[in-house]
Amino acid sequence: MRLITHTDFDGVACAVLISEVEEVDEVVFLDPATIQQKKIPITSNDIISDLPFHPKCGIWLDHHASSRQKEGVKFEGAWEPKKSAARVVYDYYDSEYLQKYSEFVDWADKIDSGEITPDEAINPKGWRLLSETLESSAPKKEDDEYMRRVSSWITKGEKVET
């Protein structure tokens, strides 16, 4: 399957989590407008996370109020008003394989919901500092590769000191 996710820390967190529990062959990092404007073909072999809904995707996981689907729209996955899409993914899969990412998901919640402290904003370190290195606008190819490498480092257990 192809995973399509957002170009920010929450999107990277989703990539890490989903790659642990699904057969992900490719990860694509996109901005929401690319999905909304239908600039990329989507199929039932795609998982979309932390991005707007697309009716052709196989699985969709998100938390943004603006993406909530109308009553009766059927899709596989989950939309819940949580602090991060990573939290939606973590709870949706409810897998023992993801338990090692508990603190990581807590940070995704904190960063994506803007609940960082003034000190964490002024003196970022650990996951907070890493989040500052990730773009949230349309990525360039080198940014895309960087986000893939960060996802791989996290999946391989290379600890980020917090």
Task: State how far the Cα of 27 lies from the Cα of 22, in Å rounded to an integer.
Answer: 12
pLDDT in tens, 44-90: 999 999 999 999 999 999 998 778 877 777 889 999 999 999 999 99
pLDDT in tens, 113-140: 999 999 999 999 999 999 988 865 555 6
Calculate the CA 49 to chain-centre distance: 6
| Per-residue pLDDT, 162 | 46
Percent residues over pLDDT 70 in the chain: 91
Task: State how far the Cα of 130 lies from the Cα of 54, in Å rounded to an integer.
Answer: 29
Q: Are the C-beta atoms of 74 and 52 separated by less than 8 Å?
A: no
Tell me the β-bridge partners of 47. 3, 59
- What's the whole-model pTM score? 0.89
Nearest to 159 by CA among 102, 104, 84: 104
